[in-house]
Structure 1
Amino acid sequence: MTGSSDWTIDGHGGRLACRTWEGEGAPAYVVLLAHGYGEHAGRYEHVARALVDAGAVVHAVDHVGHGRSEGERVLVADFEPVVDDLHAVARRAREQHPELPVVLVGHSMGGLIAARYAQRYGDSLAALVLSGPLVGEWAAAGQLLALPEMPDVPLDITTLSRDPEVGRTYDSDPLVWHGPFKRTTVEAIDRALADVRQGPPLDGLPVMWAHGGDDQLVPVSGSRVGMEHLRGEHYVERIYPGARHEIFNETNADEVLADVVAFVSEVLARRGS
């Protein structure tokens, strides 16, 4: 049985809401989860439970300005302090389980944060899993920044998943941001994309890239540019035909989660051999 507990930590922009999921037995590894833009860690309950069932203890944080954390809603002036916040969560996890390997999982904007984290702290990770990651080239940033003001147009919820219930749940979630992008945040995303492109490749770190083949929010082609730079010798790629942006919430989510668990299990088995 999986249990969860909520806790807080001081972040660069105020108190950060964190959640830990764990099973009844002793865990074999630690997972850090980094959620995407406008959402929160609570949307990853089923992901965390699948990982706990596979032997993990899972820690996640609502990034500054997101979910239950403090800060102006979805305002991120610089992603380097957000990486620092995630590192503070990792330190707490390592205090509790200093002997366990750590796997980082990041989705979308969380994939951007996770990629930058791996460039800075890759030596502390056993593996990196990037889901629909915002890395490489993202044409939407330039298009938004070229406008005189951010358009107040709601997200097309049909781009999230082929399962319409995912969009309806997202649309009614009070912890999800339903307003426009903020220029400061888009500017910070653009700088962070450049930082990742100019940062080091992840040569010694096992990396899995998973992406929906029909992702219209973060297109495969743009992310591929980033992954070609980041990837090292131990690299697994999974592009799911027809799947949209939130592959953990897709109609084939069980397949996606099984692939992630299999990748992590193979990496950890290799470490132990």
Structure 2
Amino acid sequence: MAAMPFFDGHSGQVHYRHWSAVGGPVAQLVFLHGMGQHTGHYHRFARGLTTAGIGVWGIDQAGHGLSEGDHPGPVADLAEDAALLTRLAEQHAPDVPLALMGHSLGAAVSMELLLRGDSGFRCAILCGMPKTAAVPQTAEGLGSAGIPLLAVHGVDDRIAPIDPVRDWAAGVRGLEFREFDDAGHDLLHEKVHATVTAVVRDFVLGATRP
């Protein structure tokens, strides 16, 4: 059962959820959703990770779900809120490694956090990467992050067509790019959702293992 607390964010009260790992966490994942979504859409995904010992922390980004603020809000401001959530996760289990994952808008916010260089994440996953963020400057910066990186993308994505994202991914040092046939933009809510969840689970466990 997920707890449903709030904290004071950049644009007001921010709602978040924590799905506890079964048997205690071996890793924790900070998850950032996409435009028009909220954490309530991700119970199934979280369950696929918590049963493997991965605690999940999710935020309703400003103007989404139960959070206050403008919709969608500047990416830099959303990253400030995500950093606050990350600190809560760290305080909850200080000795447990952290992973980061963002979908679409959340992927752009995740990149903002990673490019700051002080996040403390052990690995990161970008899902449905928006093409507006898939530019040479971010490719260079991510390649210097020094952590394992995974990008997952649907071949039939019409919101963020795969070709420019594929080209961008090829320029990111150390990035693993996984494509999913017969899948569009919202991978965690399509018929491939179980496969994508398993890929994310295995990547996080592998990247955070001592």
TM-score normalized by the length of structure 1? 0.71
What are the ranges of 5 or more consecutive residues in structure 1 without an aligned counterpart? Answer: 139-191
Correspondence for 2:182 among 228, 242, 255: 242
Question: Contact conserved, 1:12 with 1:85, CA < 8 A, in 2?
Answer: yes
Cα distance, 1:197–1:90 mapped onto 2, change above 3 Å: same
- Amino acid in the other structure paired with 1:81: D
Partner of 1:265: 205
Identify the range of structure 1 (119-128 vs 108-117) with the bigger mean alpha-carbon deviation: 119-128
Report the CA distance between 1:213 and its aligned residue: 0.3
Structure number with greater Rg is 1
Correspondence for 1:120 among 116, 139, 150: 116
Question: Contact conserved, 1:64 with 1:82, CA < 8 A, in 2?
Answer: yes
Query: Identity over the aligned pairs, expressed in percent?
Result: 28
Partner of 1:167: none
Report the CA distance between 1:9 and its aligned residue: 0.8
Cα distance, 1:264–1:122 mapped onto 2, change above 3 Å: farther
Cα distance, 1:196–1:49 mapped onto 2, change above 3 Å: farther
Partner of 1:211: 153
| Distance in 2, Cα, partners of 1:91 & 1:124 | 10
Partner of 1:27: 25
Cα distance, 1:202–1:125 mapped onto 2, change above 3 Å: farther
What are the ranges of 5 or more consecutive residues in structure 2 without an aligned counterpart? Answer: none
Question: Contact conserved, 2:79 with 2:113, CA < 8 A, in 1?
Answer: yes
RMSD between superposed Cα atoms in Å: 2.0
Alignment of 1:1-273 (within 5 A): 3-72=1-70, 74-76=71-73, 78-121=74-117, 124-134=120-130, 137-138=131-132, 197=138, 200-203=141-144, 204-229=146-171, 231-233=172-174, 235-269=175-209, 272=210
| Distance in 2, Cα, partners of 1:51 & 1:24 | 9
Question: Contact conserved, 1:116 with 1:196, CA < 8 A, in 2?
Answer: no
- Amino acid in the other structure paired with 2:65: G
- Amino acid in the other structure paired with 1:37: M
| Distance in 2, Cα, partners of 1:60 & 1:107 | 12
Question: Contact conserved, 1:213 with 1:244, CA < 8 A, in 2?
Answer: yes
| Distance in 1, Cα, partners of 2:136 & 2:87 | 23
- Amino acid in the other structure paired with 1:227: A
Question: Contact conserved, 1:122 with 1:202, CA < 8 A, in 2?
Answer: no
Partner of 1:171: none
What count of residue pairs does the alignment treat as equivalent?
209
TM-score normalized by the length of structure 2? 0.91
Report the CA distance between 1:193 and its aligned residue: 6.5
